[in-house]
Amino acid sequence: MIALARKTLVYEWRRFVPAVLAVGFSGLLLAVQAALVLGIFGSAALYVTASSADLWAGYPGTQSVNFGRAIDPGVEMRLRLDPEIAAVEPYLWVDGEWSAGSVSSGSVSIYLSGISTRPDALMFAQVLPTALRDRLREPGAVIVDPVDLDTLSVEVGGRAWINSHAVHVVAVVPGLRGLGGVNVLASLDTARQIGGADAAAGSTYYVARTVGTGRAEAVRARLMAGRGSMGPVEFWTAPEFAQRSQWYWLLDTGAGVAVLFMALIVCLVGAVITSQSLASVVANSAREYAMLNALGASRWALARVVVEQSFWIGGLGLLLALLASSGLLLIAAAYHVPVAMTLLVALGCVLLVACLVLCSGLVAVRGLMRADPTLLLR
Amino acid sequence: MSSETATVQKTSANPKPSLMAEGLDKAFMSGKIRVQVLQSLGISIYPGELTLVAGPSGCGKSTLMSLLSGLQRPDAGHVYALGQDISHLDRRELERFRLLNTGFVFQGFNLFPALTATEQVQLPLGYMGVDDKRSADRAMRALEEVGMVHRANMRPAELSGGERQRVAIARAIVKEPPLLFADEPTSALDAENGQRVIDILHRIAGTHGATVLCVSHDPRLIRHADRVLEMEDGAIRSDRRSGTHDSQGVCA
Ligand SMILES: Nc1ncnc2c1ncn2[C@@H]1O[C@H](COP(=O)(O)OP(=O)(O)O)[C@@H](O)[C@H]1O
Ligand SMILES: [Mg+2]
């Protein structure tokens, strides 16, 4: 069989360039959008994902880490008593106002995380080296992300105020950028002092590590069942709480709808351009196709040529999208733009683009129905 | 070759028509007006000769050809092609019939820009399930028949109009169809190339015993045909055979 689809694609490649570019561009936009969503909304759960705790105790119904409220200090005891729990520590959340230079100058809203300074502490264990954590023991010592220094108008070693309490930046650690506010790390004592009366009573969260792996879910269920004697509290496994925080930002803030809407537009525009340029290629060859049909080639056989062409276009477009989006995301990451990508999401983008190409191909195939051999009569 | 004696012999040896139409009706809607192109037309076409349907533009020649070749279905009446009634076959059955039995040459050459002459000719064989090696051999033979072997590896852009039409003829005859249809095959060509094309069509009727039906308003072709049907306003007005073998008109 003469490879009509492929030979035409090679010989008349200029005609197919718009379609390949449309597919490539759709893929690129989808991937970048997904990466931004993962990067930005992923950071809503930074507190969970950057820590090595696998159980979280917090105020019932807390939708996102940043909405924590003080819970009964008795919860810590309850956690420690569970035979399958190896370590427990409090995590104090304080919403604060940061001002640099002087108390009266403009302020930035920050999320102050009061964390344990023990060497084997759980909170932020993935990003905070032990040596730096140790420096938080100093009263008023804080650590921020280097990228946030500008926002905070401060330098390493510089002084500033949080809620009118003096603090000084002892170090910077990358990987602390958050959503909705700048993350500032301090010791539990520093955070309590800054938080004042609210914070002094107990803690916003208690985080724990279970003994064996894969036991978190079972321990959580047991803790939930034995809640009766305690004040208001709810327990989550780490992945559950992380997802809760991300979904909150994605769905309840309307950001998710905006993202879906954008993705829809991207797909729609991509499909329109791809199908239009494929259809014009088909229309351009309508007489030749009609000739083949006159000679007895079935419409189905002709449709296969068009579908094969759209597969090639899809493949080339996806390759283009892959190269362009990896390049762009690497550059973005180098400039500290919050981007992230997972294999599953990447496959999702590929699938979406493949659907787009298939639909475009089918629309273009409809143009074949006009390639009737009576067209050739004179 | 002496086409006239050959024609007489073949016609007398094959009294059975390979194409026969009875009571053909075909009308088209032009806006809200119904234009009756053919009305109860009857005709018989014989194998082994080149039959030319001549007549002024718009008299219904192409419509008649499309009905006889299974490109369209008549509104009423019957078309018997190779003994089979094709007037009521559905689209797929017509495609199948055409695949097995018919070749076409049109005014436009309708060659794929991306394919070489050989590939153009091979292409229809692929749809019949002929493998690439055998189709390449057969394509070469067909190109030989139209004198285009020396251009076998060229694409349409590198060929002249006459050469393109010869490739198109090779594509039409490569499956050795018993029925070969040509609609204004010379209209886009100069006199010399037109002459060449009609000679080839004539020769195919003689050597392959194929039924060659050519439809044209070009009066220059008349002297090359074995039989000439003059058409006017959707009806056949006269039926002449070259040489001695004259017959009566088969007008509707
Ligand atoms: N598909 C069609 N739709 C409408 N009118 C048509 C169509 N095909 C042919 N006709 C009309 O039928 C008449 C005969 O056409 P045709 O058979 O092509 O004539 P010829 O080939 O003798 O020039 C013309 O008037 C033409 O306009
Ligand atoms: Mg015509």
Nearest-angstrom CA–CA distance, A231 and A220: 17
pLDDT of residue A39: 87
Phi/psi region, residue A154 (left: phi>0; alpha: psi -120 to 50; beta: rest), is beta
Task: Tell me the residues of chain B between 132 and 151 that have a Cβ less than 8 Å away from chain A.
Answer: 132
CB contact under 8 A, B124 and A301: no
What totals of helices (H) and strands (E) does chain A contain, helices first? 14, 9
Query: Per residue in B12-22, pLDDT tens?
Result: 455 689 999 99
pLDDT of residue A212: 81
Q: Whose CA is nearest to atom 20 of ligand 1?
A: B58
A contact test, residue of B72, B95, B132, B164 with most A CBs within 10 A: B95
CA atoms within 13 A on the CB side of A241: 31
CA atoms within 13 A on the CB side of A165: 19
The token pair that represents B1 in the structure block: 């070759």
A57 and A171 in contact (C-beta within 8 Å)? no
Q: Which residues of A touch B119 (CB under 8 A)?
A: 2, 7
- Between vectors from CA A10 to CA A317 and to CA A297, what angle results, nearest 5°? 100
Which residue numbers in chain B have pLDDT < 70? 1-15, 243-252
Which residue numbers in chain A have pLDDT < 50? none
Pick from B96, B107, B110: CB nearest A288: B110
pLDDT of residue B245: 43
The residues pairing with B38 across neighbouring beta strands, listed in sequence order, are B26
Question: CA A220 from chain center: how many Å?
Answer: 26
Closest residue in chain A to residue B187, using alpha carbons only: A378
Query: To which residue do tokens 């276009």 refer?
Result: A313
pLDDT of residue A255: 80
pLDDT of residue A260: 85
Residue among B38, B37, B30, B33 nearest B77 (CA): B38
CB contact under 8 A, A377 and B62: yes
Query: To which residue do tokens 């094959």 refer?
Result: B14
Residue type, A191: A
B103 and B145 in contact (C-beta within 8 Å)? no
The token pair that represents A76 in the structure block: 């810590």
Beta strands in chain B (DSSP E): 19-30, 33-45, 50-54, 76-81, 84-85, 102-105, 179-183, 211-216, 227-232, 235-241
The residues pairing with B51 across neighbouring beta strands, listed in sequence order, are B213, B227
Residue among B124, B162, B118, B123 nearest B140 (CA): B118
Residue A14 touches chain B, beta carbons under 8 Å = no
H or E element, residue A92: strand A85-100
Closest residue in chain A to residue B110, using alpha carbons only: A288
Nearest-angstrom CA–CA distance, B45 and B130: 30
Nearest-angstrom CA–CA distance, B200 and B170: 10
Residue among A200, A186, A189, A204 nearest A57 (CA): A204
**Helical residues (DSSP H) of chain A, grouped into ranges:** 4-11, 13-42, 46-49, 74-81, 130-135, 149-152, 188-195, 197-200, 216-225, 238-247, 255-284, 286-294, 299-334, 343-368
- Cα-based torsion angle of the residue sequence B112, B117, B123, B126 in order, rounded to the nearest 10 degrees: -160
CB-based contacts of A331-336 (< 8 A; 24+ apart in sequence): A332/A32, A332/A35, A336/A147, A336/A177
Residues in chain A: 378
pLDDT of residue B6: 43
Tell me whether strands A165-172 and A141-144 are parallel, antiparallel or unpaired.
Answer: parallel
Pick from A11, A292, A297: CB nearest B113: A11
Question: CA A272 from chain center: how many Å?
Answer: 28
Other Cβ atoms within 10 Å of B93 Cβ, number: 13
CATH, range B46-70+89-249: 3.40.50.300
Query: Per residue in B111-164, pLDDT tens?
Result: 999 999 999 999 999 999 999 999 999 999 999 999 999 999 999 999 999 999
Helix, strand or coil for residue B229?
strand
Residue B177: burial class (beta carbons within 10 Å; 0-12, 13-18, 19+): buried
B221 and B52 in contact (C-beta within 8 Å)? yes
Helix, strand or coil for residue A223?
helix
